[in-house]
Amino acid sequence: MFAMVMPGQGAQRKGMIAPWLDDAGSARIDEFSEAADLDLRYYGSLAENDEITDTAIAQPLIVATSLLVFERLRDELTLPDPLIFAGHSVGELAAAAAAGAMTSRDAVRLARLRGLAMRRACDHEPTGMAAVVGGGLCDVTRAVEELGLFVANVNGPGQVVAAGRLDELDHLRANPPADTQVKLLPVAGAFHSPYMASAEAEFGAALENTPVVMARHPLLSNADGALVIGPQDLKHRLVRQLTRQVRWDLCARSLRQYRADIRVELGKGALSGLTRRERPAPQAIQASAPETVALVREALTQWENTPGPIEPRLAS
């Protein structure tokens, strides 16, 4: 099975939209800019990296880029059916739109509102996040929670992100769990933790009035890797995501069970690198520029010529 995966915050970089601004992409980014009430053409083409680290800018920029890439692939290629979607953190909005559960304009608009709400939540208390690389999940979780911190992301084996107060993160960095390295991340606050409670309430109100329908393609939730079962389930998961863990490791497990052996990352994030660390490693394609469309076309041809079942491999 083919999978399309959408990166989350951290995928922003200078000029990320510029390669996709042909006539159709240019018109589309103007539509997205109107929906977000933000000049995404400027921020995605000309702005410096330090201008786009603001979460209220990065989030709609990342979602808009993923959707521009998806629409280019959809228009130039015959995408397979079935096709499965998943997104990391804010990337779940792009995944939901690509899967047909909401419009692309609404996904970009919601990403902007989500980013603004999270930026305001960051003003309440000095918080942040830190990557904890190495060690076992149980040992790392115990060490993180003993300091009053939260496990915000579990991206894969030895790939955990902790969130909480800056002084507690400093203590974690000075006293890392056994066999780990701790690195503070350049983010504005403790995302995916209870520190985002005010943002959760604010974003929930915005999402409540947004039309959401049954997705046309399977969509995995980054909360637990489960299939989203309908519009209300999707809304609930998108809102709760702000204060709950991102379990990309469980999404990866579900993708393996659904035999998603070819995964296309729509943008230049960290998901392709995580995919390549899996054993056995699926084929990972990072669609970060128009010339990578040819790589997706080649993978599609290979997939079409490889017979085999598509039913899920259920874990024993």
> Cα–Cα distance between 31 and 43 in angstroms, integer?
15
Rounded CA-CA distance 132/192 in Å is 16
Question: Helix, strand or coil for residue 209?
Answer: coil
Q: For the sheet with 262-266, list strands across it.
A: 83-87, 2-6, 262-266, 283-287
124 flagged as catalytic: no
| Cα separation, 310 vs 297, whole angstroms | 20
In Å, how far from its chain's centre is CA 315? 24
Outline where DSSP puts E strands in 23-99: 83-87
Question: Is residue 221 annotated as part of the catalytic site, yes or no?
Answer: no
The percent of the chain in helix, strand and coil, each rounded to the nearest 5, is: 50, 15, 35
Length of the chain: 316
Structure tokens at 128: 């942040």
Strand partners of residue 286: 265
State the residue for tokens 């989030």.
59
Q: Which of 33, 66, 88, 89 is catalytic?
A: 89
Amino acid at 102: M
Please tell me the distance from the alpha carbon of residue 94 to that of residue 110, in angstroms, as a whole number: 10
Catalytic residue among 66, 192, 221, 254: 192
The closest of 234, 249, 299, 275 to 83, measured between CA atoms, is 299
Q: Evaluate whether 57 touches 38 at the Cβ level (below 8 Å).
A: yes
Count helices and strands in the chain by DSSP H and E runs: 12, 9
Residue numbers annotated as active site:
89, 192
